[in-house]
Amino acid sequence: MPGLLTKRSIALFTHVQSCSSTAPIFVEILRSFSFFPIVSTLAAILLVVVTLGALAAVYGVVVGVTAAAARYQAAKGAKAMAARKILLVDDSETILQMEQMILAKEPYELLVARDGAEGVARALQDNPDLILMDVVMPRMGGFEALRQLRGNQRTSTVPVVMVTTKAEADSIETGYTSGCNDYIVKPIDSMELIAKVRDLLGD
């Protein structure tokens, strides 16, 4: 009976040796103690413990990696859902299209208004995180629109970048007095615009 137990133990753990790099060592130990059934049984138990420990460690690593991947995807999805809004205010379709083209690859939601009055209305309606405001527009110019935005509690702290032509650069002081945060000169430089937008949004 002890001999039979030893043979079965050796056969069993020779079969599971692929589950652990330590298994072959224990099988050799098992064989060396073939005349000592008790020692052989203890070795077999120890092999089971080591094998289960190795499998548990692998399982822990897999679970950890899976959880980390899930957290990353969740954070990525939340960021996409909470895309920053940028309101583009300009009466020129060419400038609007240029601004949209420059910012298209950035993770922002772009809103459009075609004069100062519409810009103020869209800002109150959509709560943008940043506004690009032209200076000279029909119905209401950029400076007056800026003053109205700063006078309303809902939009008083929204960053505003004034978009001017070179001929209007001297009047930018009026923009700062009215409450703008920065300005950019037409024709718009794409790298400069992206840098200013990222800086003001804290990206």
pLDDT digits (tens, 9 = 90+) for 163-183: 988 767 677 888 898 999 999
The pLDDT confidence band at residue 65, using thresholds 50, 70 and 90, is low
Query: What average pLDDT does this structure show over 80-87?
Result: 79
For the chain, the average pLDDT equals: 80
- Considering the domain architecture, whether residues 97 and 183 belong to the same structural domain is answered as yes
- Considering the domain architecture, whether residues 130 and 146 belong to the same structural domain is answered as yes
Residue pair 86/131 in contact (Cβ under 8 Å)? The answer is yes
- Considering the domain architecture, whether residues 117 and 191 belong to the same structural domain is answered as yes
Return the minimum-mean-pLDDT range out of 80-89, 94-103, 158-167, 179-188: 80-89
Domain housing 51: 2-79
- Considering the domain architecture, whether residues 168 and 112 belong to the same structural domain is answered as yes
Q: Which of 44, 64, 79 is the last residue of a domain?
A: 79
Residue pair 202/193 in contact (Cβ under 8 Å)? The answer is no
Say yes or no to pLDDT of 16 above 60: no
The alpha-helical segments, DSSP class H, found in the chain are 2-15, 23-32, 37-81, 93-103, 116-126, 142-151, 172-178, 190-201
SS3 108: strand
- Considering the domain architecture, whether residues 66 and 156 belong to the same structural domain is answered as no
- Considering the domain architecture, whether residues 68 and 107 belong to the same structural domain is answered as no
Tally of domains in the chain: 2
Residue closest to 133 by CA, chosen among 156, 109, 177, 164: 164
Question: Residue 108: which CATH number?
Answer: 3.40.50.2300
CA–CA separation, 166 and 187 (whole Å): 9
- Considering the domain architecture, whether residues 63 and 112 belong to the same structural domain is answered as no
Q: Report residue 153 as tokens.
A: 């509690």
Q: Which of 25, 58, 79 is the last residue of a domain?
A: 79
- Considering the domain architecture, whether residues 139 and 51 belong to the same structural domain is answered as no
- Considering the domain architecture, whether residues 91 and 113 belong to the same structural domain is answered as yes
Q: Which of 79, 101, 121 is the last residue of a domain?
A: 79
Say yes or no to pLDDT of 2 above 50: no
Say yes or no to pLDDT of 4 above 60: no
Phi, psi of 166 (to 5 degrees): -60, -35
> Reading across the β-sheet that carries 84-89, which strands appear in turn?
108-113, 84-89, 130-134, 160-164, 182-185
- Considering the domain architecture, whether residues 94 and 168 belong to the same structural domain is answered as yes
- Considering the domain architecture, whether residues 93 and 180 belong to the same structural domain is answered as yes
> What's the pLDDT at 11?
54
- Which residue type sits at 96? L
- Considering the domain architecture, whether residues 128 and 160 belong to the same structural domain is answered as yes
